[in-house]
A and B are shown apart, each in its own frame.
Chain A
């Protein structure tokens, strides 16, 4: 750090100001920070004042312009807390309402979801494969996790598809109970495909916890085409979560 002798005059003035205000211990960089703030503030004010004075068609910037500039900046950057009488009034109103009763057995007591930060803040794009008509796979929208409360009817990229429920047992996921398995073919030439899909690799095994008690429904997706099975496997693997689920528990 520069010694006091060779410090620029502004820095010396700043040291003096700090001393006058009773601040005796500070890091050396504080002076630089204070000086930077001073320069920036004064420059902003003077520039604003120039604008105001030219707007008022004055030839020089005078004290009134500067005063106006300061006032406008104060309201903008250096706001201060509300005045006391306002706070007392607001407090009086707020304190009149009785304390709300607490509902028992609520699980985590949190505000409504829209005031929480618990919603997923991303959404995955659905994968559209161009080129081969065979390899048209749209990720069926499945919801994973305990959040959803509705059985997710998988929606398909091509809604015109027919969903054929087959009795062909898929690779069993060994969970107890009976299971319905819904195979979802995902391409145009579905009928052919469904016959040909012998490699029914089960990608997403979803157990919807809210449904476990009632019915045991497992919805499995289908890797359709053999050519793209490997990449699709990876890409579909990623698409676990979904973008909805704003509903509260």
Chain B
């Protein structure tokens, strides 16, 4: 950098080459540092530059950048000198936009986010906003630097909109000419480049050019991006972008590409040897290229992993350790004989046979290295009723049918009649005694599946009359007069999109388009609490397997973790680019998985709120998620009709189940994890052999690092059965404790 004594030409080229050479891998930060070196030398550079009349447009822009920097740092005299000597007049400059941007930046406001968004290039727009919000020193330093780089790159967009087509076609031609093995990887660049260039044109209000650009190139993109492109086609003016948070996020976040080093070198060499390397600038600004050493990936490998709105996941994003093991079950004494229904005398009473100690899952006393500590997150202690529940569970488990390819479960289907397409959510209790249905008319209805009717607690006056000392007081407090098969819960003011029973069957949660999550008591059948936090429709909610905590996700792109006794959320899981459409707890309650309309799945740590895994591969919004009972694997279903299987520990895709033709809204593993049941809008329930799908999985660090996954084409082998319903879309599936499969849906002929 201390190249001042050299001639003016060299220092000029130094300035221009800076963005290229420094910017190898990490994008902007390096650019910032590279240019950060220049200011020290800029006054002298300016002096040397001034002696040369700027011949062409690039030098002029550089001069402007330097001028702006001088103005920012209050080096007014130098600025005046430079201006006079270079004979520039700023007023009739095309750079008025960038100068305005400069002054906006100088005043350091972040609230006028509209103004800053509209007048500046997006990639660095977030920097001033972030500067005001975080107030950290680094963005403050970046405040100057992006300004200069804004100018340097701003002209590349504003330079000549008509040339965009030329740039794009040039790149296309180049990529089509490379070797086959590299072509697939480099073709990944097309889609993000296309979208960003189109958005640039729209932002800078070159409507006609944007339309031409779109018409010419949108057909070349991959088929799975068609939905996005359709949304883009409706976006022709700058104003249209203002309300669309997803697109704004897309502009400010970096699209991640995983390219092997060889392919990357090819691309870089090609782009740098050309005269006008505007594409290179765009790539640097909007794309994050994660380079790995190894063989280039094939088209099918890339296709299986791509499809999300943010590209793929960086390697670092999936490196954190995830405790996917299950928590140790508490030791409860169980009476050995099955006929003994009275659970109350299991402890203390001496029996002839020694009662068996419960050892569910904890074969050894040692801590499972993959399981979290018992007290990693606070969990509610077991009440007596919970212990009784567990004992019932264990008894049922002994009667459980072992499922397998030759022993398929029976399916019992609960059809909701006369719902007029209003059924939007269904849930079963764990012991399968109650069903809850959420409807588009904002009601929630609870039915009893067993012959036992639903009873509410008596009113207070009646309660005062009962004998409190009697043994069956718990029965007497229930009101026989108003017992019924079903109860209707009113309270929401919008369609109910998610329902979830608590594990102890005392509470029911429902989330709705009105932005609230409501907690209902199943003993009085009234609403207890309304949790307000999302101000936008909440798409899904679920109680944790231990009760007390619940998670909700909605249109505001965050998922929130709540506890029933806090009126505000405990954790906010923010990072998705589009709505959070599905939220599930891990069986050990330490992790929450969210599926989103940006086609990614993220795994969040409840303790810290950090995202520990990003899983890409779906080509449509994800609507169903299911963890395997051993906690190691995750299954996800989306609107593209595919079910993807993931190994959470490594963060890689290990299977793909093709067969459904429409959105999959229901996924559940059987109680021991042998069968995966899926229900879809194509009116079928399909059973898949989970043990076979997870068998001999070879995942190691290499596959995790490079994404060289080889998915076996065994969907047909794994599919055990397809069961068609009579024009009833399947909304929910549930395995009872004895491995009977229950399914629910509404009949719409």
**Contacts A99-B377, A110-B564, A144-B461; is A117 near B527 (CB within 8 Å)?**
yes
6 A-B residue pairings within 8 Å (CB atoms): A84-B557, A87-B574, A109-B548, A109-B564, A110-B565, A111-B564
Docked CA distance A111–B532 (Å): 12
Contact of A87 with B565 in the complex, beta carbons under 8 Å:
no
Docked CA distance A78–B555 (Å): 13
CB distance from B122 to the nearest CB of A (A): 12
Asked if B28 is an interface residue, CB under 8 A from chain A, the answer is no
Q: How large is the interface on B (under 10, 10 to 19, 20 to 34, 35 or more residues)?
A: 35 or more
Docked CA distance A147–B571 (Å): 32
Docked CA distance A109–B461 (Å): 24
CB nearest neighbor in A for B527: A117
**Contacts A81-B536, A85-B130; is A115 near B548 (CB within 8 Å)?**
no
Asked if A116 is an interface residue, CB under 8 A from chain B, the answer is yes
Contact of B528 with A110 in the complex, beta carbons under 8 Å:
yes
**Contacts A89-B133, A91-B609, A94-B571; is A83 near B245 (CB within 8 Å)?**
yes
Q: Which residue of A74, A78, A91 is within 8 Å of B574 (Cβ)? A: A91
Q: Which A-B residue pairs are the 3 nearest by beta carbons?
A: A95-B609, A145-B460, A81-B556
CB distance from A169 to the nearest CB of B (A): 21
CB distance from B749 to the nearest CB of A (A): 14
Docked CA distance A90–B558 (Å): 11
CB distance from B92 to the nearest CB of A (A): 24
Q: Which residue of A78, A91, A106, A240 is within 8 Å of B243 (Cβ)? A: A78
Chain B residues lying within 8 Å of A109, measured Cβ to Cβ, are 380, 548, 563-565
Asked if B248 is an interface residue, CB under 8 A from chain A, the answer is yes
A96-115 interface (Cβ within 8 A of B)? 97, 99-102, 104-106, 108-112, 115
Contact of B242 with A74 in the complex, beta carbons under 8 Å:
yes
Contact of A91 with B130 in the complex, beta carbons under 8 Å:
no
Asked if B529 is an interface residue, CB under 8 A from chain A, the answer is yes
Asked if A206 is an interface residue, CB under 8 A from chain B, the answer is yes
Asked if A195 is an interface residue, CB under 8 A from chain B, the answer is no
Chain B residues lying within 8 Å of A101, measured Cβ to Cβ, are 378
Asked if B23 is an interface residue, CB under 8 A from chain A, the answer is no
Docked CA distance A84–B253 (Å): 10
Asked if A167 is an interface residue, CB under 8 A from chain B, the answer is no
B105-142 interface (Cβ within 8 A of A)? 113, 126, 129-130, 133-134
CB nearest neighbor in A for B554: A81
Q: Is the interface of A mostly helix, strand, loop or mixed?
A: loop
Asked if B203 is an interface residue, CB under 8 A from chain A, the answer is no
B523-580 interface (Cβ within 8 A of A)? 526-530, 535-536, 548, 555-558, 563-567, 569-575, 577
Docked CA distance A37–B378 (Å): 49
CB distance from A192 to the nearest CB of B (A): 33
The contact string, 1 if C-beta is below 8 Å from chain A, for chain B 598-609, is 000000001111
Contact of A99 with B239 in the complex, beta carbons under 8 Å:
no
Docked CA distance A205–B239 (Å): 69
CB distance from A219 to the nearest CB of B (A): 13
Asked if B353 is an interface residue, CB under 8 A from chain A, the answer is no
Contact of B530 with A117 in the complex, beta carbons under 8 Å:
yes
Contact of B567 with A84 in the complex, beta carbons under 8 Å:
no
Interface centre among B239, B461, B527 (most CB of A within 10 A): B461
Contact of A111 with B377 in the complex, beta carbons under 8 Å:
no
Asked if A178 is an interface residue, CB under 8 A from chain B, the answer is no
Docked CA distance A82–B536 (Å): 11
Contact of B381 with A104 in the complex, beta carbons under 8 Å:
yes
Contact of B248 with A83 in the complex, beta carbons under 8 Å:
yes
Contact of A87 with B569 in the complex, beta carbons under 8 Å:
no
Asked if A21 is an interface residue, CB under 8 A from chain B, the answer is yes
A132-155 interface (Cβ within 8 A of B)? 144-146
Chain A residues lying within 8 Å of B230, measured Cβ to Cβ, are 20-22
Q: Which residue of B227, B252, B572 is within 8 Å of A95 (Cβ)? A: B572
**Contacts A110-B565, A112-B567; is A84 near B243 (CB within 8 Å)?**
no
CB distance from A109 to the nearest CB of B (A): 4
Docked CA distance A21–B234 (Å): 8
Interface centre among B234, B249, B536, B609 (most CB of A within 10 A): B609
A191-245 interface (Cβ within 8 A of B)? 205-207, 209, 240-241
Chain B residues lying within 8 Å of A249, measured Cβ to Cβ, are none
Q: How large is the interface on A (under 10, 10 to 19, 20 to 34, 35 or more residues)?
A: 35 or more
Chain B residues lying within 8 Å of A89, measured Cβ to Cβ, are 133-134
Interface centre among A74, A86, A205 (most CB of B within 10 A): A86
Contact of B555 with A117 in the complex, beta carbons under 8 Å:
no
Contact of B379 with A88 in the complex, beta carbons under 8 Å:
no
Docked CA distance A110–B243 (Å): 37
Contact of A81 with B245 in the complex, beta carbons under 8 Å:
yes
Asked if B177 is an interface residue, CB under 8 A from chain A, the answer is no
Asked if A59 is an interface residue, CB under 8 A from chain B, the answer is no
Docked CA distance A53–B186 (Å): 53
Contact of A94 with B569 in the complex, beta carbons under 8 Å:
yes
Q: Which residue of B227, B249, B380, B564 is within 8 Å of A84 (Cβ)? A: B249
**Contacts A81-B557, A111-B529, A117-B530; is A91 near B572 (CB within 8 Å)?**
yes
Contact of A102 with B572 in the complex, beta carbons under 8 Å:
no
Q: Which residue of A95, A240, A241 is within 8 Å of B571 (Cβ)? A: A95
Chain A residues lying within 8 Å of B610, measured Cβ to Cβ, are 95
Contact of B572 with A94 in the complex, beta carbons under 8 Å:
yes
CB nearest neighbor in A for B252: A84
Chain A residues lying within 8 Å of B530, measured Cβ to Cβ, are 117
> Besides A80-B244, A84-B253, 14 other CB < 8 A contacts?
A78-B243, A82-B556, A84-B574, A89-B133, A91-B558, A100-B566, A102-B563, A104-B381, A110-B528, A115-B529, A115-B567, A117-B530, A207-B464, A240-B461
CB distance from B621 to the nearest CB of A (A): 14
Chain A residues lying within 8 Å of B377, measured Cβ to Cβ, are 99
CB distance from A218 to the nearest CB of B (A): 11
Contact of A95 with B378 in the complex, beta carbons under 8 Å:
no
Asked if A60 is an interface residue, CB under 8 A from chain B, the answer is no
Asked if A118 is an interface residue, CB under 8 A from chain B, the answer is yes
Chain A residues lying within 8 Å of B378, measured Cβ to Cβ, are 99-102
Asked if B716 is an interface residue, CB under 8 A from chain A, the answer is no
CB distance from B598 to the nearest CB of A (A): 11
Asked if A11 is an interface residue, CB under 8 A from chain B, the answer is no
Asked if A170 is an interface residue, CB under 8 A from chain B, the answer is no
Q: Which residue of A91, A99, A102, A205 is within 8 Å of B573 (Cβ)? A: A91
Asked if A127 is an interface residue, CB under 8 A from chain B, the answer is no
Docked CA distance A21–B235 (Å): 11
Asked if B233 is an interface residue, CB under 8 A from chain A, the answer is yes
Docked CA distance A21–B608 (Å): 41
Contact of B239 with A70 in the complex, beta carbons under 8 Å:
yes
Contact of B607 with A99 in the complex, beta carbons under 8 Å:
yes
CB distance from B442 to the nearest CB of A (A): 16
Chain B residues lying within 8 Å of A94, measured Cβ to Cβ, are 569-572, 609
Docked CA distance A162–B571 (Å): 58
**Contacts A88-B575, A91-B574, A102-B548; is A83 near B113 (CB within 8 Å)?**
yes
Docked CA distance A76–B530 (Å): 25
CB nearest neighbor in A for B610: A95
Contact of A87 with B557 in the complex, beta carbons under 8 Å:
yes
Docked CA distance A1–B241 (Å): 36
Docked CA distance A42–B570 (Å): 42
Docked CA distance A100–B606 (Å): 12
Docked CA distance A95–B558 (Å): 13
Chain A residues lying within 8 Å of B460, measured Cβ to Cβ, are 144-146, 240-241
Contact of B529 with A87 in the complex, beta carbons under 8 Å:
no
Contact of A85 with B126 in the complex, beta carbons under 8 Å:
yes
Interface centre among A87, A106, A116 (most CB of B within 10 A): A87
Docked CA distance A205–B230 (Å): 71
**Contacts A20-B233, A144-B460; is A99 near B570 (CB within 8 Å)?**
yes
B569-626 interface (Cβ within 8 A of A)? 569-575, 577, 606-610
CB nearest neighbor in A for B229: A22
CB distance from A72 to the nearest CB of B (A): 13
Chain A residues lying within 8 Å of B248, measured Cβ to Cβ, are 83-84
Docked CA distance A110–B506 (Å): 12
CB distance from B564 to the nearest CB of A (A): 5
Docked CA distance A116–B519 (Å): 10
B362-380 interface (Cβ within 8 A of A)? 377-380
